[in-house]
Structure 1
Amino acid sequence: MSEKKKQLLIVTGMSGAGKTVASHALEDMGYFVVDNLPPTLLSSFWDLMVNSNDFTKVAVVIDLRMKSFYKDLINAVNSLEDNASVQVTTLFLDAANDALVARYKETRRLPPLVSRGGLLDGIVAERQILTPIKNRANKIIDTSQLSASQLKQKLIATFSEQQQQPFSIEVMSFGFKYGVPIDADIVMDVRFLPNPFYLPELRPFTGLDQRVANYVMDKPETKEFYQKFLDLLQTVLPGYIKEGKQQLTIAIGCTGGQHRSVAIAQQLARDLAKDYPVNVTHKEISRYTRK
């Protein structure tokens, strides 16, 4: 029997996006957490840890406080991924520029790259430097709308007892006018479908209302699209499971996230729940109030 791999979680991302909260949450989950380790020492550090029986889950937090070493991070990750004794996962914590500006103003701190430029200039410069590692990350969490406790719960749901968690699906509706969810694995644009917004009798309601759902789902173009989309998902989902993915987020978007995306997401959640644990959320419904 082959020896079970030890787990290494690399936590990085934008300054102010929640890495401190993440490190505390991971400690609560039994991870040995090391903060601000230079990437050039990552491989050597892991060599020490792998020879100890006291550590099975290690999290390393790396940010631009060590900006002179940050360019070495991708090389270090590549090296560790070739190590048969370690399972490497990279978590990137992100947040929108306006959310980061608000947080820095509240704490009266400055981003690492602010010097002669303004606050936003420093954030933009940092985002540019971090793009390569963000593109390599296994998991991206957007903390723009998350409180500290909500981020902790999301981390627990994602990483606590990771090997024992069954595969699950998060189906989400959203509005493109408010931005695409950054943590979505699959994004489907349904803005080409007939829009109930233009019917005065349906406009005040959402896709949770049966009248709106019927209007969207009963259209011939919707039926054809939906069946093909469902067939595609049922084809690819076993592949995600085989590759070890434990949670898949499917985001369905329309213009405002009120009608079409909600109706499609609801139906998709019902159909996928026949074979998988499914949770459904609607990001934009709270923006609308019935009068």
Structure 2
Amino acid sequence: MKDAAPLTEDGRQRLVLVTGPSGAGRSTAVHALEDLGFEAIDNLPLSLLPRLIDGPALTRPIALGLDVRNRDFTIEALIEVIDRLAARADIAEELLYVDADEDTLVRRYSETRRRHPLADNSPLHGIRREREMLVPIRARADVLIETGGLSPHDLRAEIEGFFAPPEGKLLTVELQSFSYKRGLPRGLDFVFDCRFLRNPHWEPTLRESDGRDAAVAKYVVEDRLFEPFFTQLCDLFGLILPAVREEGKTHLAIGFGCTGGQHRSVALAERLANALAVGGWQVSKRHRELERRAEADLPGRGEGR
């Protein structure tokens, strides 16, 4: 893939500020930008930023990782930096905010056993304090990426979609399954209701399995309406995806919903993901309710819920 150019088309220096709550994936985002050809500097003191951008001409775009561990970091100082950069005619500044919900951050700190930079003992107090501090910064974000449910590979793909050169960008198709009981996931471009298909939940031998299981998938596929529906889905996206890619879009999210988000929606998302992958498309999958169930089964999780 071609590296990102140091200057925009109008000749301004590219500068991406990367921030967000600790544990949300900021370091992964900085490394992903570095892989795209950015000169990445993590935890640069804000007071040194003017020296960096006013020095000799830079040969690469810049990505700066900023968080509460920076020596002179304050919300007021970061807002002042953003405002100063936005006012300069020679700088094309973007703020990338990498976020995650509270439960995800708590789980990540529990798994890694790392100490939160703003917490003395339990990470929860530090997580809540930091998220509250960063509210004004989050509101200024040019690019906001929610990493709950994203693997590091998925996050890198998101970064590539936003910051890779246009000629090097790929269209990533994300397939999501969900339960209507918990509402629609955010950011979906297309939503399909699978509740018209027969429900494996009512088969005792299938109830505890999910749509990734071969027996459950077979049960869903054998519904008389499945094949004509799926054929039209494939025809629809065979038409849409090339047009979306030609338009320059780098991410398309397709959601499938059913009652519990465990059987029909999962089976459909899996089947379409396989069909698109065979067709050469870059595909990622997320099963929201299965992820929640897996988290609840972790030791120490799900208590009191």
Query: What is the SS of the residue equivalent to 2:63?
Result: strand
* Structure 1 counterpart of 2:220: 212
**For residue 211 of structure 2, what is the amino acid of its counterpart?**
T
> Aligned pair 1:248/2:252, yes or no?
yes
Gaps of 5+ in 1: none
Offset, 1:52:
0.8
Going from structure 1 to structure 2, the CA distance change for 1:265 and 1:101 (only over 3 Å counts) comes to closer
**For residue 109 of structure 1, what is the amino acid of its counterpart?**
R
* Structure 2 counterpart of 1:130: 134
* Equivalent position to 2:18, from 11, 14, 23: 11
**How far apart, in 1, do the equivalents of 2:16 and 2:130 lie?**
22
* Structure 2 counterpart of 1:173: 176
Greater CA drift, 74-83 or 130-139: 74-83
Offset, 1:62:
1.2
* Structure 1 counterpart of 2:164: 162
**How far apart, in 2, do the equivalents of 1:121 and 1:61 lie?**
23
> Aligned pair 1:109/2:115, yes or no?
yes
Offset, 1:206:
1.9
Going from structure 1 to structure 2, the CA distance change for 1:193 and 1:76 (only over 3 Å counts) comes to farther
* Structure 2 counterpart of 1:197: 200
Offset, 1:33:
1.8
Query: What is the SS of the residue equivalent to 1:158?
Result: helix
TM-score (norm. length: structure 1):
0.64
**How far apart, in 2, do the equivalents of 1:75 and 1:217 lie?**
58
Going from structure 1 to structure 2, the CA distance change for 1:21 and 1:263 (only over 3 Å counts) comes to closer
**How far apart, in 1, do the equivalents of 2:279 and 2:227 lie?**
26
Query: What is the SS of the residue equivalent to 2:145?
Result: strand
* Structure 1 counterpart of 2:5: none
Going from structure 1 to structure 2, the CA distance change for 1:282 and 1:4 (only over 3 Å counts) comes to same
Query: What is the SS of the residue equivalent to 1:215?
Result: coil
User: What is the total number of aligned residue pairs between the two structures?
Assistant: 270
Assess if the C-alpha contact under 8 Å between 1:93 and 1:141 holds in 2. yes
Going from structure 1 to structure 2, the CA distance change for 1:79 and 1:255 (only over 3 Å counts) comes to farther
TM-score (norm. length: structure 2):
0.61
**How far apart, in 1, do the equivalents of 2:99 and 2:267 lie?**
29
* Equivalent position to 1:20, from 22, 27, 31: 27
* Structure 2 counterpart of 1:70: 75
Going from structure 1 to structure 2, the CA distance change for 1:100 and 1:267 (only over 3 Å counts) comes to closer
1:123-177 CA deviation, whole Å, 9 max, x = no partner? 122222323443535141416664xxxx267426733981032341322223349
Q: Determine what percentage of the aligned residue pairs are the same residue.
A: 28
1:201-238 CA deviation, whole Å, 9 max, x = no partner? 76546277254145395499x79xx87xx69x949x75
Gaps of 5+ in 2: 1-7, 295-305
Going from structure 1 to structure 2, the CA distance change for 1:245 and 1:37 (only over 3 Å counts) comes to farther
**For residue 168 of structure 1, what is the amino acid of its counterpart?**
L
Superposed CA RMSD in Å reads 4.9
Query: What is the SS of the residue equivalent to 1:63?
Result: coil
* Equivalent position to 1:100, from 90, 102, 105: 105
* Equivalent position to 2:281, from 274, 277, 281: 277
